[in-house]
Amino acid sequence: MKYFCFALFLVLFIIKLQRCDGLTTRGQGLKGRVQRDRRNIRPNIILILTDDQDVELGSMQVMNKTRKIMEQGGASFTNAFVSTPMCCPSRSSMLTGKYVHNHNTYTNNENCSSPSWQAQHEPRSFAVYLNNTGYRTAFFGKYLNEYNGSYIPPGWREWVGLIKNSRFYNYTVCRNGYKEKHGSDYAKDYFTDLITNDSINYFRISKRMYPHRPVMMVISHAAPHGPEDSAPQFSEHFPNASQHITPSYNYAPNMDKHWIMQYTGPMRPINMEFTNFLHRKRLQTLLSVDDSVEKVYEMLVETGELDNTYVIYTADHGYHIGQFGLVKGKSMPYDFDIRVPFFVRGPNIEPGSIHPHMILNIDLAPTILDIAGLDTPPDMDGKSILKLLEPEKTENRFRSNRKPKVWRDTILVERGKFLRKKEESSNNNKQQSNNLPKYERVKELCQQAKYQTACEQPGQKWQCIEDTSGKLRIHKCKGSLKVSAKRKRTRSLRSRGYSSKEKECDCGKTDYKPARGERRNQRQLSQTNQRYKPRFVHTRPTRSLSVEFEGQVYDINLEEEAQPAYETRNISKRHYDLEVEEDLEEMLADDNAVGQPSSVKVTHKCYILANDTVHCEREIYQSSRAWRNHKSYIALEIEALQDKIKNLREVRGHLKRRRPDECDCSKSYFNKEKAPRNKERKKSNHRLHPFKEAVQEVDGKVQNFNESRRKKKERKQKKRLKKGDDCSLPGLTCFTHDNDHWQTAPFWNLGSFCACTSANNNTYWCLRTINDTHNILFCEFATGFLEYFDMNNDPYQLTNAVHTVDREVLNELHLQLMELRSCRGHRQCNPRSRGLETGNKDGGSYDPHREEQLWNGWEG
């Protein structure tokens, strides 16, 4: 009986194990089926992008619908920035997830939608990855500034892309490979409404035909970018908008900032009125975007996809209107240009949450891939922000010792034409510098070992010497000059001068050269025997002048009144006719008289007299038409002379660069055979001060690049001359505004004006840091200029405080900036947080005793 019970128990145990094994197999199969079906319930993604929308000037305050849907219904990031405040570079970073120095789109022109961009970086945008995994991708709106509509970028199933830059009317779009022109009818052509309706229709059709396929859409608005044409129903809104008047408004000039800020002075009244008008127009265009966001939200509610859709709202960069005296524009490294709105709503995102973490436009692509369940490619520089959006567990939320989420606290901001070498303009423009005083720079330079020895190291050119007052000074090493002095004493007694067979130099017969005393005696003898003869002066006065007086023409011989003083013959008294002489004296006494003997002829009707007064013919003062014609003639002459001066300067620079080798025949000891050797020795002994060391030779590639730039400038100049554009200035980015600029109400009727907004040397690399202790902006400009702002004390970046920062801190900031400038991939471009306080072992990471060469900041 005992054995029977044991056998029965054993059978039941085996049967139970088999059932459990079957349940495990079915569970694994169910798990696998859930994983396979998960691709059909992946979330939808909608990216809403605006163009040139600011945060600092209060543009979000008028978008109540967007704030209710995105800010109150999702998460908002208060420290969202862009890596460059330019349209095309920033949009390229959003598509690829890379910094500017990695996708090589530097400005709105260079490499913007170029063949190299299309071949190297466009096939690696986030749309390609999502399209390959089953997403139905679609793009509606502005793409890149130089997109010409000749192709459909890879990765997009539905494509409605704006050709060229932002427009609201009279534009052309590429709709799935076919160009479609639009006019000025609001109901059919207004760009904001067009892309909104197209995107909503595409989403509805996609969910109707492919209900299990996720959709990823980009709705890229042109607002509030120029020409700022609003919808007619909003043309009377915000008549007294003044959010743009911040503490930095019309704060100019700024002599402690970089060059363009020093050049820009306070705005004129017409410029200030224009800023008010422009701000109003920009806000009006954003109201249509506000309606667009509401329409997209209502469409998601109607289709039942709201809870399974991530909606992201942001801009490509910020904007300034009157800040620091700049009438309008972007491209500056300050917060009003690099800070953007950023909102996210979707599954598992806590409504109304606020995140202070620093995020960038390069984080968009990794975030979209993470939402789709894809890993971030190693070549992307950004990081996914999804882990910042995860809600905290209830038991950890009220903990006082909970660990914060690890995230970056420093970003890189870069802008400019980085391919251009700085040495090409070293001969024309001095580098701008605002660094430490000279004695401090000398003190730091003398800390290097190569300057501390007394000219004992081989090849040493400079040494540090302490003078009697205790100051350190840098002197040249003169030990090598003794050898050259000995060589000069032992001159060769060979034939001096060149051989007659050589064609390079012909110094003539230089075998005999008189001594110095003999040459002096000959000079004195020639001076005593030679009779003085005046030399012909090319700048002599005019010989004669024809003057019209009371309907008659008089020929006046000016040469007789101004006889040279060196003439030996007697000068007889002039014999004019008495009546003519009296008329002449009366005419010269007249205010309109011209042509006195000491006058300078400027034009055919105007002269400058000896007393520096200008007199013109009587017709100029009596006829308004003659006055206007002569004034136009003078303007044309000035323009022609300016062009000629510009061409002469280019020729002069060309001759300086192409100067041939010369032989000095005045030196009697010159030897042709030793010339190359002496030249090489002189080149090798050429010493430059350590503060002025720079590369002097430019390779062939840079020369070709300079030549192409010069030709491009000439073409632009010719176009401006044809159009009659006199606003553009060399080295500056200027614009002209007139009454015909805006085609929709409200209209500008205060006339035309010209204003400059940026400069060609506005190339910089900046660090923007925000953490518990620091809120700073540190910038290095291509001109060598440095800027440092502490936003805890100066939130509007009014004062450059670089002179108040310790040299060790500046050196640490420079090293960190150099690391980010060369970073590649998200592992290098997102370093761990580092402190800025020197010597702080707990929070700081800078070690003043580590063996690393200090940064010579004054070299730029």
Q: Which residues are catalytic?
A: 87
Q: Are strands 753-759 and 732-737 parallel, antiparallel or unpaired?
A: antiparallel
**Taking Cα atoms as reference points, which of 810, 806, 827 lies closest to residue 818?**
810
Between the two ends of the chain, the Cα-to-Cα distance in Å is 99
**Taking Cα atoms as reference points, which of 226, 45, 63, 227 lies closest to residue 126?**
45
Q: Which residues are bridge partners to 789 per DSSP?
A: 777
Give the SS3 label for residue 778: strand
* Tokens of residue 551, six digits: 């309907």
Question: How many Cβ atoms sit within 10 Å of the Cβ of residue 172?
Answer: 15
Q: What secondary structure, in 3-state letters, does 816-832 show? A: HHHHHHCCCCCCCCCCC
Return the H-helix or E-strand segment holding 853. none
Q: How far apart are CA 792 and CA 788, in angstroms?
A: 12
Under 8 Å CB-to-CB from 842, ≥6 apart: which residues? none
Residue 673 DSSP class:
T
* Tokens of residue 163, six digits: 């050709």
Residue 172 DSSP class:
E
833, 411 in Cβ contact below 8 A?
Answer: no
* Tokens of residue 487, six digits: 């060589």
Q: What are phi and psi of 463, to 5 degrees?
A: -145, 155
360, 382 in Cβ contact below 8 A?
Answer: yes
Determine the residue type at 683.
K
Give the SS3 label for residue 508: coil
* Tokens of residue 172, six digits: 């052309």
Q: What secondary structure, in 3-state letters, does 671-712 show? A: CCCCHHHHHHHHHHCCCCCHHHCCCCCCCHHHHHHHHHHHHH
On the CB side of 853, CA atoms within 13 Å amount to 7
Sign of the CA dihedral 62, 65, 68, 74?
negative
**Taking Cα atoms as reference points, which of 364, 307, 424, 416 lies closest to residue 698?**
424
Q: How far apart are CA 196 and CA 198, in angstroms?
A: 6
Q: How far apart are CA 293 and CA 192, in angstroms?
A: 11
Under 8 Å CB-to-CB from 375, ≥6 apart: which residues? 369
275, 322 in Cβ contact below 8 A?
Answer: yes
**Taking Cα atoms as reference points, which of 288, 304, 306, 348 lies closest to residue 46?**
306
Burial class for 261, CB neighbours closer than 10 Å (0-12, 13-18, 19+): buried
Q: How far apart are CA 671 and CA 667, in angstroms?
A: 9
Rg (CA), the chain: 38
Q: How far apart are CA 281 and CA 275, in angstroms?
A: 10
Q: How far apart are CA 55 and CA 352, in angstroms?
A: 18
324, 251 in Cβ contact below 8 A?
Answer: yes
Q: Which residues are bridge partners to 329 per DSSP?
A: 320
Which residue spans within 747-855 are E strands per DSSP? 753-759, 764-770, 775-781, 786-790
Determine the residue type at 751.
G
586, 601 in Cβ contact below 8 A?
Answer: no
Which residue spans within 579-618 are E strands per DSSP? 600-601, 606-608, 614-616
Determine the residue type at 258.
H
In 269-371, which ranges are continuous DSSP H helix? 269-303, 335-338, 364-371
